[in-house]
Amino acid sequence: MAAGCACQAAEEKTLPYAQLDEVIAKYRGEAAAIITILQDVQELLGYIPKQSIAYLAEKLHVSPAKIYGIVTFYAQFRLAPVGKYNLMVCEGTACHVNGAKALTRAISEELDIAGGETTQDGLFTMERVACVGCCSLAPVVVVDGEAHANMTPARVRRLIGQLREKEQRSQGAQAAKEVL
Amino acid sequence: MQEKTVVKVGMSTCGIAAGGRKTFATLEREIAKHGLDVELRQTGCIGMCYIEPLVEVHSPAGETYYYGAVTEEKAALIVQEHLLKNEPQEELLISREKGNVFSKQVRVALRNCGDIDPESIADYRRKGGYEALRKALLEMSPEQVIEQMLASGLRGRGGAGFLTGLKWRFTRAAKGQPKYLVCNADEGDPGAFMDRSIIEGDPHAVLEGMLLAAYAIGASAGYVYVRAEYPLAIVRLEKAIEAAREAGFLGEDILGTDFNFIIKIKKGAGAFVCGEETALLASLEGERGMPRLKPPFPAEQGLWKKPTCINNVETFANVPWIILNGGDKFKAYGTEKSSGTKVFALAGKISRGGLIEVPMGISLREIVYEVGGGIPGGKKFKGIQLGGPSGGCVPESLLDTPVDYESIVKTGAIVGSGGMIVMDETTCMVDMARFFLNFAQNESCGKCTHCRIGTKRMLEILVRITEGKAALDELDLLQELALEVKEGSLCGLGQTAPNPVLTTLKYFREEYETHLRERKCPAKVCRELLTYTIDAAACTGCGLCTRRCPTAAVSGEKKEAHTISQELCVRCGNCFDACKFNAVLVE
């Protein structure tokens, strides 16, 4: 641990400390704002980098263990970045009864990742969530805040294909721009 | 009376997920294109989630037309034919459907949902909004408000069913200042969406309910603890708070009296256990959401050790109606001990899933068959899960049970917060028990040994059963563990987590035994117990299944019947999904 790894050093350098300070300042004087602050940090960075925990602990005058304890207690907080497309498979009761498990399996097969994991290219994450409240449209997969209703394994595979295509197109466009 | 035609589009999370925004945009565009003098509005969820997006057309003459499943094309057609030529599109109307869904319903908590624009305080006030507050502040003492609540017999709608008026009386009587009020909107039961729909459809009703409660107990600050997974609800709540503040219903010297009240929103961070009062308070205080021993009850020592009253969203939504119409009016609905109406989220294997509000005492059969329209696809009803992971599964033989707190508890389930999941013959009860226990196990905060480890051991047994690896006597062990977890847990989560297991063991024991004795899953859900074969007569040898099989278990010549090697088969079901000729058989 003493030597630290290269990625950690890189992470430290890239943490936007000024923005973190702004978040902290926003809730100054408010009691028990740690959870709210962490929510804002995650909104800002997409996840809670380990390094930010130490930084927040120092600024908020609490132990890093306390913050780490909160981060790992609540399902909302992530310690690793998510992919560009976060496939949230709803595993609420209604979705379960209507075949959510088959969707998880199809995504797993298609992307070779398990729940909570991200593909190597950083494009897709599969998140298994406990209920998004669209029970009458079950089973549901949410991507980028948009709920896809009445999903089947075939439709979820198609959705992944469409997202991949979209990505390739935009990469193609990017490459073309660079050439010009 | 309104002068022009009003068109409303249901825009709650479920309506939007079904395409409500596109429908709204199309209507907006088409109305503008034809230069029509029509008022287009958004509204909340009317409850008919199965047929979203919903469009309602009100003519100046007072006629109302409901259109269901309105796609963009249908939206354009409605403008073209109905709004422009005044020719309602009979074949697209759902009036009869609506009649079926609504005939048994009485809407108190949902009185404005799907009717008013949730983002307009003026709309809420047109429906008598904030009149209850005026009445209470100007004409009633806090004690009189509490008396009305006691007279109504309203019991906490979050699940525990404690008398709301009594809770208020205790908090009022408790020593210590300041006092706090908390609205519990941490709707964690997977399969329930009552609270989300109420906030999304009628946020001011919740705020007014909170104001009345604050006046009654003597609180000057309140929190809404709402799930972060409900972004739309949070946005509408924020707007409502802002509008109420501007209108002088929140802040200082409300309505010219010396009553002050502010409301803050706190976003939950995703922990089911935070639905439990003391865990919720810990979370509000910025800690890990772990419950503590009661007493002292929150009414005596709650947030920051001050007297605190915690009620659920639906409870609050009922309050303004009760104060305005009188406790007796509410008590006239329902049964002696379970008065009033209750909102339920009906989902699962049901034809007309959605949000319903019915008088307590109605039978489960009426809800499933008359309101919900029964099971789709001609399948057979098997059970209905009440109360989510804390509840239980009620079988067909008990469908005539009246829905009231006491009768439902006798079946082994609970009314809970109002989730109702219908299951048919294709649902495996052992798998359901495993599903709920897996949820409870994940969400156990870890404080009590029985809940933390007991549920894990129970889950392991259930997994073994669904994989055909358990011994027959493990059912007794499962039962024993279930009773001990109930006994040895501090809070509601652990005390109720075994309920789904206990009720399925009680009512569907033979299904467990089939899994154990015959290593078969009658509902064909438990993968490890299935056998896939190919019906040689139906197989055309198209080869689609061969290509989809991840383990090369399917083999055969082109255009000839294929076979599946049972040694290689991993029972993924891909061949079954792929086959277009129903030639893959599952047993």
Q: What is the DSSP string of A86-148?
A: EEEEE-SHHHHHTTHHHHHHHHHHHH---TT-B-TTS-EEEEEES--S-GGG-S-EEETTEEE
Cβ distance of B348 and A94 shorter than 8 Å: yes
A42 touching chain B per CB within 8 A:
no
B271 in Cβ contact with A73 (< 8 Å):
yes
Q: Do B421 and A105 touch (CB under 8 A)?
A: no
Sheet of B354-359, strand order = B354-359, B341-348, B419-424, B381-386, B392-395
Q: Greatest CA span in chain A, whole angstroms?
A: 55
pLDDT of residue B16: 87
What per-residue confidence (pLDDT) applies to A2?
41
**Given this model, what pLDDT does residue A173 score?**
81
Question: Is-contact B193 A135, C-beta < 8 A?
Answer: yes
- What pLDDT digit, counting tens, does each position of A50-79 carry? 999 999 999 999 999 999 999 999 999 999
CB-side exposure of B478: number of CA atoms within 13 Å? 30
Res. A32 pLDDT band, cuts 50 70 90 = confident
Q: Which residues of A touch B435 (CB under 8 A)?
A: 93, 96
Q: Which two tokens stand for residue A30?
A: 């408010």
Helix-, strand-, coil-residue percentages of chain B, each rounded to 5: 45, 15, 40
**In the prediction, which pLDDT does A172 show?**
82
What pLDDT, on the 0 to 100 scale, is given for residue A54?
95
Element (H, E) at B58: strand B55-58
Chain B residues whose beta carbon lies within 8 Å of the beta carbon of residue A129: 229
Say if the Cβ atoms of A94 and B353 lie within 8 Å.
yes
Q: What is the DSSP letter of B379?
A: P
Q: What is the CA radius of gyration of chain A?
A: 19
State the pLDDT at residue B27.
96
- The residue type found at B374 is G
Q: Calculate mean pLDDT across residues A93-120.
A: 93
Report residue B52: phi and psi, to 5°. Answer: -70, 160
- Residue-wise DSSP of B256-322: GSS--BEEEEEEE-S-GGGGSHHHHHHHHTTS------SSSPTTTS-GGGS-EEEEEHHHHHHHHHH
> Using CB atoms and an 8 Å cut-off, which of residues 55-94 of chain A contact chain B?
69-70, 73-77, 91-94
In this complex, which of B17, B270, B353 lies closest to A74 when CB atoms are compared? Answer: B270
B14 with A94: Cβ contact below 8 A:
no
Of chain A, the percentage scoring pLDDT greater than 90 comes to 67
**Cα torsion angle, B101, B105, B109, B115, sign:** positive
Residues B201 and B233: their CA atoms lie apart, in Å, by: 9
**Is residue A138 within 8 angstroms of chain B, CB to CB?**
yes
Whose CA is closest to B172, among B221, B139, B216?
Answer: B216
Q: Which of A77, A132, A133 sits opposite B269 (nearest CB)?
A: A77
Q: ipTM, 2 decimals?
A: 0.89
pLDDT at A6: 45
- Nearest-angstrom CA–CA distance, A166 and A85: 11
pLDDT at B189: 87
- Classified as helix, coil or strand, B502 is helix
Evaluate whether B259 touches B215 at the Cβ level (below 8 Å).
yes
What mean pLDDT comes out for the span A12-23? Answer: 86
Environment class of B569 (CB within 10 Å of its CB; exposed 0-12, middle 13-18, buried 19+): middle
In the predicted model, residues of chain B with pLDDT beneath 70 are 1-2
Banded pLDDT at A180 (limits 50, 70, 90): low
Instruction: Report how far residue B327's alpha carbon sits from residue A58's, in angstroms, rounded to the nearest whole number.
Output: 53
Res A178: pLDDT: 72
Interchain contact, B421 vs A132, CB within 8 Å: no
Provide the pLDDT for residue B95. Answer: 77
Phi then psi dihedrals of residue B312, to 5 deg: -90, 160
Give the pLDDT band (50/70/90) at residue A4: very low
CA–CA distance, B161 with B158 (Å, rounded to integer): 7
Query: In sequence order, which ranges of B105-155 are alpha helices (DSSP H)?
Result: 121-126, 131-139, 142-152
Residue in chain A lying closest to B439 (CA): A130
Decide if B192 and A140 are in contact by the 8 Å CB cutoff.
Answer: no
Q: Provide the pLDDT for residue B228.
A: 87
> Quick one: pLDDT band at residue A12, thresholds 50, 70, 90?
low
Instruction: Flag if B190 and A130 touch (Cβ within 8 Å).
Output: yes
User: Residue A147's pLDDT is what?
Assistant: 85
CA distances to A12, A45, A70, A83, B244 from A16, rounded to whole Å, are 9, 9, 22, 20, 37
Let me know how long chain B is: 587
Helix, strand, coil: what percent of chain A each, to 5? 55, 10, 35
* Nearest residue on chain B to A40, alpha-carbon basis: B267
Judge contact between B27 and B79, C-beta under 8 A: yes
Phi and psi at residue B11, in whole multiples of 5°?
Answer: -125, 55
Q: Which of A34, A41, A93, A105 to mutate to test the interface with B (most CBs of B within 10 A)?
A: A93
Distance CA B564, CA B574 (A): 12
Q: Are strands B419-424 and B341-348 parallel, antiparallel or unpaired?
A: parallel
Q: How far apart are CA B55 and CA A4, in angstroms?
A: 59
